[in-house]
Chain A
Amino acid sequence: MRIYSDEELNNYTEEELKNFKIKHDIPDLEELEKGPWPSFVSDAKQGALHRRKLADDRMLIDRDVIEDMLGQLQVSFDDGETHWKHGGIVGVFGYGGGVIGRYSDLPEKYPSIAHFHTVRVNQPASKFYNSDFLRTVCDMWEYRGSGMMNLHGSTGDLVLLGTTTEQLEPIFFELTHELGQDIGGSGSNLRTPSCCIGKARCEFACYDTQDLCYELTQYYQDELHRPAFPYKFKFKFDGCPNGCVASIARSDMSFIGTWRDDIRIDQDAVKGYIAGDFIPNAGAHAGRDWGKFDLQKEVLDLCPSKCMKYEDGVLTIDNAECVRCMHCINTMPRALKPGTDTGVSILLGAKAPILEGAQMATLIVPFMKAEAPYDNIKEFIEKVWEFWMEEGKNRERLGELMQRFGLPKFLEIMELPPAPHMVKTPRENPYVLWKEEDVPGGWTRDIKEYRTRHKR
């Protein structure tokens, strides 16, 4: 499904691109074309030249949109201030989110970015694509938008950067009808879930991150598209405690793969590492001479729970003491593997600083099986949501609500028994709340009765 012919896509020469100047003066931006790292300015210029040479009827929003974006960016550098107006509420019928409205505060000077809305497109799990899909998105987006994108937004979405209000519905129609593809989340709702590469290409993956991510995204479409929450809520799915999608820091509900049986040890491969046949950490430190691999120094001594031994040519792990930090497995991936009885740990409440300070997620459920259709996980999610949707204040993240109620109260509402793994240490102050029913005799007492024993 294409709009543009190959001739139209290659409508400029290398020479033309080299000599191309956009309509605005952008000296600071041109400085950013130098240096080895891929230059977003150089890329933007090739997009601008391409648009300039397309026929008038081959795009529906102004051909100058990239040039005006660069022009305004230069002015922002000169002024040391952004030139986007505050906020902007736009969208598509049926949904309450997915589009971020944006308007220039210099619309006379840069008319083609007077409207410059972003459309979040829900990415396929772990961001695998084929070129047919990407090319179709590109053609649609060049025709109906600026041709500028982010691959990808921090939450995971494929971001289409800059179009007019008029084109939002047509873009949505093309995405859904031709690409079978929905938009992502924004606002006080379930945001677009994302996952690590998981079983697709990683030997550490303890559950099917893509499948769980896809299943929950589909199952909770309503919560994603129609804001019904006190504030935003994010899911992220890490296949193991290495945290390649950073769920522990960047999602309200963090699913981290783990196991509850023994780490699998291939003793011959351990000897292979000691002999130098295999390079430690799969060669991640090969750029510097760190000396010969030293099992004691690099693995046993660094184990946070000191639960490993190497005696008489045999590596042993006291698995009951292991905290599954991944270090030994990361360091000797050919010799050590996670166990086979796998599931997820569920941690809650991560968020950035606003309002009450940044939070990492807190460990709540130590282990839960994660197998399709994931009914146990859905039940848990809905219990958390039920509480937060009822009690959460306006713009209060789950992590802040947990702080306001206190972890003990939260556990009681979740009907979970308290356990030492939920804390780094027990409390240090003695300001303990007791419930009246837990104290013999209750709280109603008579001072006269007290005075019978204690004179004033």
Chain B
Amino acid sequence: MALSLERLGKYDPKDPQKNRLTDLGPRHFWQYFPPVIQNNYGKWAYHDVLEPGVLVHVSETGEKVFTVRCGAARFMTVQHVREICEIADKYCDGYVRFTTRNNIEFLVDSEAKLDALKKDLQGRKFPGGSFKFPIGGTGAGVTNIVHTQGYIHCHTPATDASSMVKSIADALFEEFQGMNLPAKVRVSMACCLNMCGAVHCSDIALLGYHRKPPIIDHEVIDKVCEIPLAIAACPLGAISPDKTPEGGKTVKIKQDRCMFCGNCYTMCQALPLSDKEGDGVTILAGGKISNRISMPKFSKVVVPWLPNNFPRFPEVVENVKKILNAYAQGANKYERLGDWAERIGWEKFFEKTGLEFTEHLIDDYRLAYDTWRTSTQFKYTDAAWNVSKAAGGID
């Protein structure tokens, strides 16, 4: 068996069904488990985080496995993967795994191997100076940022993913290598509100957002789109059928009803909406997945829009840090960001983070009423005094 070097390999375009193998599925997982994992599968007794990025799991058999977790850019070239393989061969009998947040984990079965592995990983850098394999991402810190394709591969983004993630991860690097927070903080990023990934359920989430309605390409729309699908794609019913002056089929968009989600463009290429000045970043906060203490929560919009200031997104970085710092100072041990915000009240969240509260943050979609405050229970903040003043209640 060998990889083919023929231009079309074993594929014969004249007889495409010949020798076709289908429905094989993935390779079976067992063959990729290191021996220590095979031997102790289902027998683990407990684990410890020895230091940021380093775990030990102890089996009922007494065997131990040490894990070194390293950050990764998720985007990687074959050259980088080959370097991962080289490290795996050198220290881990050729085995390596990746986490559900796209970190890399190297597993060894002794402390002697662990020390050599750590030292090697810490010494590897790209020529530009960034770490190739920074160790961290465990415990009560900030781990890798789950993210999307952005301008590298997608047609519907309102921002870029890899560059924003690199900028945020650089700014929060100490938190990746530390465990100084009240609880873990999951940061995630999506480049449009399809929210591929985890934006709707993360402690801090960054979301690409448009602010201009689509431009209608009347000339081609009836040739390239199935118009009813574009109409049905709108959550707010802003799109309806229309005729061009020449009598061709097209659509019209009630611009004041459009909230720029871009779903009609997903369905119809004649409705592009990306725009340099319009597009930017929304920040959400307070979501979680786990059932620990409180139930899972959705993230809430806390910053309606910040500019796409490529390549470093300074405004986004600054706002993320504001949220993280206020949380780190205010929350109790084990309290996730959303638990903290709910305990102190969102009015205090805005006061403590210094984020501005604008009308964009008040829900006005369908079940919006459930998010308004139908109670006299609130805390006084400057924002509350401003309302009292505006209403003529105080001087």
Contact = CB atoms under 8 A, between A and B. Distances in A.
Contact of A326 (B25, B52, B291): B291
A126 B131 contact: no
Nearest to B57: A201
B151 A82 contact: yes
A140 B32 contact: no
B292 interface: yes
B273 to A, nearest CB: 10
Given A147-B78, A161-B153, A131 B4 contact: no
B30 to A, nearest CB: 8
A397 interface: no
B363 to A, nearest CB: 10
Contacts of A21: none
A203 B46 contact: yes
Given A86-B155, A133-B27, A147 B163 contact: no
A199 interface: yes
Contact of B155 (A69, A102, A279): A102
B13 to A, nearest CB: 7
Interface in B127-162: 127-134, 138-141, 146, 148, 150-157, 160, 162
Interface in B46-75: 46-52, 57, 65, 67, 71-75
Contacts of B198: 154, 246, 249-250
Interface in B217-254: 229, 232-233, 235
B100 A86 contact: no
Contacts of B148: 154
B196 A352 contact: yes
A304 B293 contact: yes
Contacts of A355: 233, 235, 263
B77 interface: yes
A48 to B, nearest CB: 8
A286 B298 contact: no
B296 A173 contact: no
A246 B297 CA distance: 12
Contacts of B200: 249, 352-353, 358
Nearest to A26: B311
B24 A134 contact: no
A80 B276 contact: yes
Contact of A93 (B17, B48, B132, B289): B17
Contacts of A341: none
Contacts of A426: none
A173 B261 CA distance: 39
Interface string B11-51: 10100110111111111110111100100011011111111
B334 A44 contact: no
B99 to A, nearest CB: 7
A28 B9 contact: no
B88 interface: yes
A199 B42 contact: yes
Contacts of A267: none
A150 B74 contact: yes
B179 A285 contact: yes
Contacts of A358: 195, 200, 298
A246 B94 contact: no
B170 A242 contact: no
A207 to B, nearest CB: 10
B256 interface: no
A80 B77 contact: no
Interface in B95-141: 95-100, 102, 104, 107, 126-134, 138-141
Given A32-B311, A84-B155, A128-B32, A298 B130 contact: no
B9 A174 contact: yes
Nearest to B145: A37
B84 to A, nearest CB: 7
Contact of B311 (A28, A210, A224): A28
A129 B25 CA distance: 16
A380 interface: no
Contacts of A28: 163, 310-311
A86 B276 CA distance: 18
A108 interface: no
A9 interface: yes
Given A170-B11, A181-B24, A203-B57, A354 B49 contact: no
Contacts of B33: 128, 200
B28 A124 contact: yes
B101 to A, nearest CB: 9
Contacts of A196: 100
A77 B311 contact: yes
Nearest to B129: A34
Interface in B244-290: 261, 263, 265-266, 269, 272, 274-277, 279, 289-290
B187 interface: no
Contact of A243 (B98, B178, B290): B290
A245 interface: yes
A140 B4 CA distance: 9
A188 interface: no
Contacts of A178: 1-4
Interface in A271-285: 279, 281-285
Contacts of B37: 128, 200-201
A343 interface: no
Interface stretch (A215-223, A308-316, A413-421, A440-448): A215-223
A287 B179 contact: yes
A116 B229 CA distance: 26
Contact of A202 (B44, B51, B77, B312): B44
A302 B334 contact: yes
Contacts of A72: 151
A301 B124 CA distance: 45
A190 to B, nearest CB: 11
A443 B327 CA distance: 58
Contacts of B151: 72-73, 76-77, 82-84
B365 interface: yes
A128 B275 CA distance: 41
B197 interface: yes
Contacts of B72: 38, 151
B138 to A, nearest CB: 7
5 contacts: A93-B16, A169-B16, A248-B291, A286-B51, A330-B292
Of all A-B residue pairs in the complex, the 7 with the closest CB atoms, nearest first, are: A33-B128, A80-B276, A47-B77, A284-B139, A35-B170, A86-B269, A42-B126
Given A174-B10, A283-B50, 16 more contacts: A33-B130, A39-B73, A39-B128, A82-B274, A84-B155, A85-B155, A122-B26, A124-B27, A128-B37, A130-B88, A130-B95, A151-B76, A246-B289, A249-B201, A353-B195, A358-B298
